[in-house]
Structure 1
Amino acid sequence: MSGFRTLAAYQKSYLLATSIRRMTVDFPKEERYSMTDQIRRSSRSVSANLAESYGRRRYPKHFVAKLADAVSENYETQCWLDFALEAEYIKEETYDRYIAASEEVGKLLSFMENHPGKYLR
């Protein structure tokens, strides 16, 4: 198994992205190419950027830069959740659960950004 899959941040971000995909199945069809695609893309990008950062562990600046991309995508996902709540595509309880999961991913990513030496080769 590739090492990035053992990272808690990867595991939690991956679970969040797959859960968001399932949640957005019920979004209105007119949102298919806007909100639905955007929230799916940004949530998946968190895991993808984290995996990419892991592959760049030999280069500390590149490693941290890709982690920063993952953090940014995580914030974008939260923004799309805000829009979904406002449009009443999701209930507040669902929103709260997804935001909490995203915040947890964000804390793990921030730890990695602030302590890159623990992950570098």
Structure 2
Amino acid sequence: MAFKFEKLIVWQKAIDLSEIVYSLTRTFPVEERFVLSNQIQRAADSVSLNIAEGSTGQTNPEFKRFLGIALRSNIEVVGCLWLAKKQNIIKEDDFNRIYKACEEILLMINGLKASLK
């Protein structure tokens, strides 16, 4: 692995989150293709992209800033999940699976931020 972020388990989990989100949004109604499905996809992708961007060649304070953006994107995924659940677009088990993944990523990002001096 040539890049520092590729070794980070939180980045790997964020990549998995995007994969799960993309798989789920393929089941969304057509009218949501450019609305909620697009929003949750972009938010999920933003988690891993900000971890990657902040990890390489940045100072610790700058990396923390990017981790903060990744954290907010992760929370945005959860917000989108709630919207999809309330609109009966997703099933309870899909909601719970992705929600749990987001909780895990939240804890990992916070742990990584805390480890940076």
- Kindly provide the amino acid, as one letter, of the partner of residue 81 in structure 1: L
Within 5 Å, give how 1:62-81 maps onto structure 2. Answer: 62-81=62-81
**Distance in 1, Cα, partners of 2:61 & 2:80:** 29
Is 1:49 aligned with 2:50?
yes
Q: Following TM superposition, by how much is the alpha carbon of 1:42 offset from its aligned partner in structure 2, in angstroms? A: 0.1
1:53 Cα deviation (Å)? 1.1
Cross-structure match for 2:108:
108
CA root-mean-square deviation: 1.0
The answer for the alignment partner of 2:83 in structure 1 is 83
Match of 1:7 in 2: 8
Name the aligned partner's letter for residue 93 of structure 1.
Answer: D
Distance in 2 of aligned mates of 1:3 and 1:113: 15
| TM-score normalised to structure 1 length | 0.92
Identity of paired residues, percent? 30
Deviation string 1:25-66 (CA, Å, 9 cap, x unpaired) is: 010111111101000000000000000110143x12211100
Query: What is the match of residue 99 of structure 1?
Result: 99
Deviations 1:77-112 (A, max 9, x none): 000000111111111111011100110011000001
Moved over 6 A (4+): none
Instruction: Count how many residue pairs are aligned between Structure 1 and Structure 2.
Output: 116
Q: Which runs of 5 or more structure 2 residues have no equivalent in the other structure?
A: none
Q: Which structure 1 residue ranges, 5 or more long, are not aligned? A: none
CA distance in 2, matches of 1:36, 1:56: 33
